[in-house]
Structure 1
Amino acid sequence: MPPRPLLFFSHANGFPAGTYRKLFAQLEPHYRVAAPDCYGHDPLFPVTDGWRHLVRQAAHELALVRQGDEPVILVGHSLGGFLSLMLAASEPAAVRAVVMLDSPVLHGWKAGVIRAAKRVGLAARVPPASVAWRRRDRFASPDDALTHFASKPVFARWDADVLRDYVGCGVCRREDGAGLRFARDVEARIYQTLPHDLGRVASRLRQRVPGLPVGFIRGTRSQEVRQVGLAATRRLVGEHMRQIEGGHLFPMERPAQTAGELLGLLAAMGVAPSLPRAA
């Protein structure tokens, strides 16, 4: 039996890799899945404007798990999708394919608005950064955290196992109770420093490796997709675009369907055996 291809997965902002355990379990019969645990918390790779050091962190983590010069499939959700795109643009020779999960490419005047907001210091005052700064991050216990999140409309739509996995990997015990392991100030800074040149990154990748397959899966109710639009993303991915019922966090809401759609998309992109698409 041939070895499983390496699939390198990068998580969304605020959600450590363990949150995706149920998704990974569906992928691992077909791929050797590797995933950095937590972006933005290593002082060697600080959060700065444009995420240059986060891309360096991704490259470092990939080098640790890559066997020789084996090619890699880069998959990422939200923040992780952007990092996957940026990593592919910086190291295209190593990459067989890229799939972004609800990571629409910002371009045009909307990218200019982001750049201007950062220049005048307003990026911290608007969502989602402003929400992250106010996020509750202390609890009486992990069970208290689970109860808190389950009561929130966004988390209430999650698969129950995924919510438990998030609390299990994302909430740690402290002397005074429990707290979020993904620091809310790091989460907020990541939002505040969103690269405003992703359109140029996508164009550069297409120029350097015109034939590299790039795919995109979006949630049908994704607010992020509605805000950003899909014009630049469509130019990047062409026919390799899919959708799943759900919001921006559809991998947490429908992990099994997400895995099925991802496997089918990779097969259509020519980097996996042909598999039936999820219903």
Structure 2
Amino acid sequence: MCPKPERTSRDAPLIVFSHANGFAAGTYATLFARWRAAGFEVQAIERFGHDPRYPVTSNWPHLSRQLAEFIEQQGRGPAWLVGHSLGGYLSLLTALRQPQLARGVVLLDSPVLDGWRARAVQLAKATGWIGELSPAKVSRRRRERWASVAEKLHHFESKPAFARWDPQVLADYVATASVGDDGSQQLGFERAVETAIYNTLPHQLGRLARRRPPQCPVAFIGGSISKEVEQVGLSATRRIARGRMSRVEGSHLFPMERPVVAADAVLAAIATMGADPAPV
């Protein structure tokens, strides 16, 4: 899908994007530019979990409230809610709890837990084992500080997972860092917050969607080799998305690996759900 010339008018359709855990919204700048060029306004919370008014707790009720209030602050009515991983779950939670805020939801590799898998996560949370079973096992030991931008960039470029990333997206991710008093480069997303989010994964989302089906259309776009999809399965997601399912070449982090393809897949999904950006 070829993007249209950029449109900045307040009457342009609105995408509210929510990022994956550990990756601030600035990481997705390439996708945002593609959507803006196609005629959408794009807004995003830069970092979930870092505002003390919205603490990280089990099932993420305060993070969902943060997203809902952010959408309301735009003063635009219902928006297209697009989210990657954590962001997809928050988008769906918000659409289920406050349907008046969502025109449609696009889940980027956010497969919905339900059934025995959801009960297993609930048990792991209750017993404290979730930290050994989730990505929190890695995030709690993640390196937090580098002497320079160049050192930080080299660190991530040497990691196999990051080696698959688009160079511009990796540069944008590195640029989300905060700077220490000594001039050092720090993680743009606090590892303690990232770990807490993993350890409080919602286990009730599938059940909630059964009891209160979404009132807006939902679409799912997954990575072709996503381990997260393999672990969770797609039965609940298929039920919620009602056939609006597609896959993009790549892993769970396909928006970072193939940002233009991912951005265009979102535009295609929105088009099938009824978006009609005003002509420029």
- Tell me the equivalent position of 1:263: 267
Partners in 2 of 1:26 and 1:252 — Cα distance?
Answer: 14
Contact (CA 8 Å) 2:13, 2:277: kept in 1 or not?
no
The answer to whether the aligner puts 1:100 opposite 2:104 as a matched pair is no
| Separation (CA, whole Å) in 2 of partners of 1:85 and 1:14 | 19
Could you tell me how far 1:273 is from its partner in structure 2? 5.5
Once the two structures are TM-superposed, the CA of residue 124 in structure 1 deviates from its matched residue by: 1.5
1:244 corresponds, among 242, 248, 255, to 248
**TM-score (structure 2 length as normaliser):** 0.92
Distance (whole Å) between structure 1 residues aligned to residue 132 and residue 13 of structure 2: 42
Q: Distance in 2 between matches of 1:261 and 1:242?
A: 8
Task: Provide, for residues 68-126 of structure 1, a one-character-per-residue CA deviation record: whole Å limited to 9, x for no partner.
Answer: xx221111000000000000011102221011000000011111111111111111122
Secondary structure of 2:12's partner? coil
What SS does structure 2 have at the residue aligned with 1:28?
helix
CA 1:239–1:273 in 2, change beyond 3 Å: closer, same or farther?
Answer: farther
Alignment coverage as a number of residue pairs: 269
Q: Where in structure 1 do 4 or more consecutive aligned residues deviate above 6 Å? A: none
Query: What pairs up with 1:196-211 in 2 under 5 angstroms?
Result: 196-206=203-213, 209=215
Percent identity reads 50
Q: Which runs of 5+ in 1 are unaligned?
A: 275-279
Per the TM alignment, residue 255 of structure 1 is displaced from its structure 2 partner at its CA by 0.7
Asked whether the equivalents of residues 263 and 272 of structure 1 are also in contact (C-alpha less than 8 Å), the reply is no
Q: Matches of 1:63 and 1:193 in 2, distance apart? A: 25
How far apart in 1 are the matches of 2:48 and 2:95?
17
2:124 maps to 1:124: no
1: CA distance between counterparts of 2:12 and 2:176? 26
| Aligned residue number for residue 277 of structure 1 | none
> 1:87 corresponds to which residue?
94
Q: CA RMSD, aligned part only?
A: 1.6
SS of the aligned residue for 1:134 comes to coil
Corresponding residue number in structure 1 for 2:158 = 151
Match of 1:254 among 238, 244, 258: 258
TM-score (norm 1): 0.92
Shift of 1:260: 1.0
Deviation at 1:170, TM superposition (A): 3.2
Contact 2:134–2:199 at 8 Å: present in 1 too? Answer: no
